[in-house]
């Protein structure tokens, strides 16, 4: 199964917390769309792979990034991850159409735009609020509260589906409360 090869690649390439984010994105994909196809599942498991493969300081990135749809950072991040994953899939001789679909989904996982890309974006936000948001809060809230709020708002406001929004709302509100108390 291709997804198992993908999982092996991800586990080898990423740190535990990064794997957790990707696996939980896959979990939420299944919750939001029980009939999700293979491309959507592979994209969920790999969408942030560029962060696993380069040793770039998160602190610098976080501060200089504008956390809004279509910002330069997010555009580059989507493109880089899509390129890495499509190269990997080509190397294991995956089907051409599958590669195209996965590439498109990863290239749009921050902004959405099609029903499938929107599900990926929503699942990504839920996985973010479960885990990543807490490490951002811990690392950056004291240094730059405003940017942390911007990031949380971006990840919440971009959610398309009612179902995902309802699940994310209490998570988001809890985090905002914690942020305000810092
Ligand atoms: Fe991402
Ligand atoms: Fe992500």
Q: Is 112 left (phi over 0), alpha (psi -120 to 50) or beta?
A: left
Ligand nearest to the CA of 22: 2
Q: What CA–CA distance (Å, rounded) separates 77 from 53? A: 12
pLDDT digits (tens, 9 = 90+) for 142-166: 878 999 999 999 999 999 999 999 9
The pLDDT, as a whole number, for residue 59 is: 41
Question: How many Å lie between the centroid of ligand 1 and the Cα of residue 110?
Answer: 6
> What is the rounded average pLDDT for all residues in the chain?
92
User: Token pair for residue 180?
Assistant: 């305000």
Question: How many Å lie between the centroid of ligand 2 and the Cα of residue 124?
Answer: 5
Q: Could you give the angle at the alpha carbon of 57 between the alpha carbons of 63 and 151, nearest 5°?
A: 35
Domains and CATH numbers, the chain: 2-181 (1.10.3210.10)
Question: How many Å lie between the centroid of ligand 1 and the Cα of residue 48?
Answer: 5
Ligand nearest to the CA of 130: 2
pTM for the model: 0.94
Q: Report the 10 Å Cβ neighbour count for 180.
A: 10
Ligand nearest to the CA of 78: 1
What is the separation of C-alpha 99 from the centre of its chain, rounded to a whole number of angstroms?
A: 19
Question: How many Å lie between the centroid of ligand 2 and the Cα of residue 128?
Answer: 7
Confidence of residue 71 (pLDDT cuts 50, 70, 90): confident
Confidence of residue 60 (pLDDT cuts 50, 70, 90): low
């Amino acid at each position: 199964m291709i997804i198992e090869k993908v999982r092996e690649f991800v586990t080898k390439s990423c740190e535990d917390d990064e794997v957790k984010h990707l696996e939980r994105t896959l979990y939420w994909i299944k919750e939001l769309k029980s009939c999700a196809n293979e491309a959507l599942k592979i994209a969920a498991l790999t969408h942030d792979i560029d962060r696993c493969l380069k040793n770039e300081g998160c602190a610098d990135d976080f501060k200089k990034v504008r956390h809004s749809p279509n910002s330069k950072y997010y555009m580059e991040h989507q493109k880089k991850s899509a390129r890495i994953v499509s190269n990997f899939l080509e190397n294991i001789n995956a089907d051409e159409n599958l590669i195209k679909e996965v590439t498109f989904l990863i290239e749009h996982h921050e902004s959405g735009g099609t029903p499938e890309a929107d599900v990926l974006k929503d699942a990504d936000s839920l996985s973010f609020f479960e885990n990543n948001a807490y490490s951002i809060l811990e690392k950056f809230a004291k240094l730059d509260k405003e940017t942390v709020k911007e990031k949380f708002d971006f990840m919440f406001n971009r959610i398309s589906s009612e179902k995902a929004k309802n699940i994310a709302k209490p998570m988001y509100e809890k985090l905002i409360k914690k942020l305000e108390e810092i």
